[in-house]
Amino acid sequence: MTEPIYLTSLDDARLDCFTRLTDVQLRSLKEQESGIYLAESEKVIARAIAAGHRVLSVLTPESAMAAVRELLARQAGELEPQLFVGSTEQLAELTGFQLHRGPIATVARPEPTQPAEILSSSSRVVVLDGLVDHTNVGAAFRAAAALGADAVLLSDDCADPLYRRAVRVSMGAVFQLPWARLPDWRLAGPLLREHGFTQIGFALREGCVEFSRFLADPLPAKTAFLFGSEGHGLSRKAQGAADTLVKISMDHGIDSLNVASSIAVALWGVRHAAASGAADHEKGH
């Protein structure tokens, strides 16, 4: 079992990965260049380990040390992670904030997955187009995982799903669903079509089919649901790639939903339509 390293100095070079966490841009650049990401809380670290990601080091308050040691014991491999233990005051001084969620782990980024690999083994995927907010990306993953998506695909300009805030908001769902980045839409649309996917884009424009009407017909065997950012919605290129554009009806003058809410509505609607169709089929027999 991993032996703890008690902090005696905050100048230890081995702690560099945990410093200046409040500087969003610096953290984003540093994580990508060093090939690591940060996972916060016991639950999220556990999901990272369960997904086969390799924890390199953990910074934890002493109150969570025993639980963290048990988590690290589940990790396969010969290289033992470093476990840094400090007081609440030491950790706050080091990171710049109180560690309310407990431990933080540095984790080696896995090798990128190719979209073709995901598409060949999926039948229902969520495609995120142009989401630049890490919170929205994390929430989108959580909704997709909770409501039955097989995978998530991201346009090349989407925010990083392994950024600290995205990982935290997703509650580790970014480890549970396979994901990959798509090429430019000139190639992405044909790629999805080549793998048999009907592309359904969610948009707010004239001519969109009401989503409830879309669900009244039998669903395609393989479906990709395309969602855009809250600010600009689905891009023109993504709309051009879509086989059908749909919209979610809303009341009280509300003209748009948070992307995670839209994903939840869409996937729940698909699940409900499939269940209703199966029930009607059984009644007919």
Q: Helix (H) and strand (E) counts for the chain?
A: 12, 12
Q: What angle do CA 156, 168, 63 make, to 5 degrees?
A: 150
Average pLDDT over residues 56-85: 91
Token digits of residue 56: 């390199």
**Tens digit of pLDDT for each residue in 182-191?**
999 999 999 9
Look at 74-83, 157-166, 235-244 and tell me which has the smallest mean pLDDT: 74-83
Half-sphere exposure of 131 (CA within 13 A, CB side): 28
Average pLDDT over residues 74-79: 81
Q: Are 53 and 175 in contact (CB under 8 A)?
A: yes
Q: Which amino acid, 55?
A: V
Boundaries of every domain in the chain: 4-108, 115-284
Instruction: Assess whether pLDDT exceeds 70 at residue 113.
Output: yes
21 SS3 class? coil
How far apart CA 98 and CA 92 sit, in angstroms, is: 5
**CATH code, 4-108:** 3.30.1330.30
- Which CA distances in Å does 251 have to 41, 207, 221, 256, 266? 38, 19, 31, 10, 17
**Tens digit of pLDDT for each residue in 120-157?**
999 999 999 999 999 999 999 999 999 999 999 999 99
pLDDT of residue 97: 60
Token digits of residue 14: 């081995």
**Tens digit of pLDDT for each residue in 198-224?**
999 999 888 899 999 999 998 899 999
pLDDT of residue 270: 94
- Which CA distances in Å does 5 have to 2, 189, 237? 9, 51, 52
For the entire predicted model, the pTM comes to 0.87
Average pLDDT over residues 255-279: 84
Average pLDDT over residues 280-285: 50
DSSP secondary structure of 33-93:
HHTEEEEESHHHHHHHHHTT--EEEEEEEGGGHHHHHHHHTT--SSSPPEEEEE-HHHHHH
- In CATH, the architecture of 115-284 is 3-Layer(aba) Sandwich (3.40)
